[in-house]
Amino acid sequence: PLPSFVRRSFVQSGGMPTESGSTTPNSKSYSSSIQSGGKPRHRGVSPGVLGGLGTFRKATVVVKRTPYPKALTAALNDYDQYREATESMFGCLLNLIQPNGMYRGVTGTSLILKPPEGQEPHEALYAALAAKPMVLNNQPKLQEDLDKSSATVAMLAEEKNAFFRSAESKMAHLSFFVYKFTVDFEEARAVMEKSRDSVDSASNALKRAGKNAVSAAESALNLAAAEYKKAVDAVLSLLTTLPELKKNHYTEIEDVVTMLVDHNTNMKKCLAEIRMPAPMGEKSKTPITG
């Protein structure tokens, strides 16, 4: 016997679908055409091929789509919305915890969008200051202030890198969802769509099958329906894990945001220790507090 959802679809469709005006005229319509004074309808090829003997009408087959279960449709919509929101959130978090971030610098006449790979901008600045580009032999006080500022920049770089490492370790579930789960899900979804198309084709073939081909068509439909059910179950199995994934994602986002607040507090403490070197004859400026 055919699966219930396939059997319902087959019965409701009422057999071979037709299109208005596409059927071959019967003898009654043929004779009435002559009696009404019109030209007789000739069966044949299209005009211009054999002297315009008539018009050949090509039948159009309409394949009815097998509907998804309502629960599956709702679950797919929920997944699509959640995926879009989560990928956007994940991208924002990555911009906050990546060492290079949004960095712009100039070397000579070339614009550099990022510091060397794996080097945090504060590290790049400290390396430049450590090279002592300015020789202040005759101004020891300014040199001392510059050395202190360089040491503070090194502290900022260390604090930044510690934050990056900790924050990245807190995003394991988010990374898994974006880089692994979504890929596996789309593959399973593609298999389900393909098997659904096979059911539609097999169902249509059964409707058109002659008396001697019905048995083979039913077997083909049963096989296609079994593969479709297997594919649907695989997608549903992945979707059932979504609630737990959402909980883990919420926890990770909360942890990273909390770490970001603590990190900015520590950065502010480091910056508060800096006193800008003042030109000779002027008092030092007040500390930078943020």
Tell me whether residue 37 is in a domain: no
Q: Tell me the one-letter amino acid at 113.
A: L
Task: Please compute the mean of the pLDDT values over residues 93-102 and round it to a whole number.
Answer: 70
Q: Can you give the pLDDT at residue 158?
A: 86
Least confident of 27-31, 117-121, 262-266: 27-31
Tell me whether residue 265 is in a domain: yes
The closest alpha carbon to 278, from 129, 152, 150, 141, belongs to 141
DSSP 15-50: SS---TT-SPP-HHHHHHHHHTTPPPPPPSSPTTTS
Tell me whether residue 184 is in a domain: yes
Count of structural domains within the chain:
1
Confidence at 53, pLDDT banded by 50, 70, 90:
very low
Cα–Cα distances (Å) from 255 to 166, 167, 170, 193, in that order, read 10, 8, 7, 38
Pair 228, 66: CB distance under 8 Å: yes
Tell me whether residue 153 is in a domain: yes
Q: What CATH number does residue 76 fall under? A: 1.20.1270.60
Which residues make Cβ contacts (< 8 Å) with residue 72, sequence separation at least 6?
A: 232, 235, 236
How many CA atoms does the CB half-sphere of 112 hold within 13 Å? 13
Tell me whether residue 219 is in a domain: yes
**What mean pLDDT value characterizes the chain?**
74
Tell me whether residue 119 is in a domain: yes
- Residue 185 — φ and ψ, nearest 5°? -65, -45
Q: Domain containing 106: what range?
A: 70-129+138-272
Tell me whether residue 286 is in a domain: no
Most confident segment among 37-41, 112-116, 155-159: 155-159
Least confident of 19-23, 53-57, 113-117, 186-190: 19-23
Q: Any idea which residue has 């503070």 for tokens?
A: 152
> pTM of the full predicted structure?
0.60
Rg (CA), the chain: 36
Q: Can you give the pLDDT at residue 142?
A: 76
Residue 118 to residue 99: CA distance in whole angstroms: 7
DSSP 126-165: HHHHHT--S--TT-HHHHHHHHHHHHHHHHHHHHHHHHHH
Tell me whether residue 54 is in a domain: no
Which residues make Cβ contacts (< 8 Å) with residue 5, sequence separation at least 6?
A: 66, 67, 225
Pair 221, 2: CB distance under 8 Å: yes
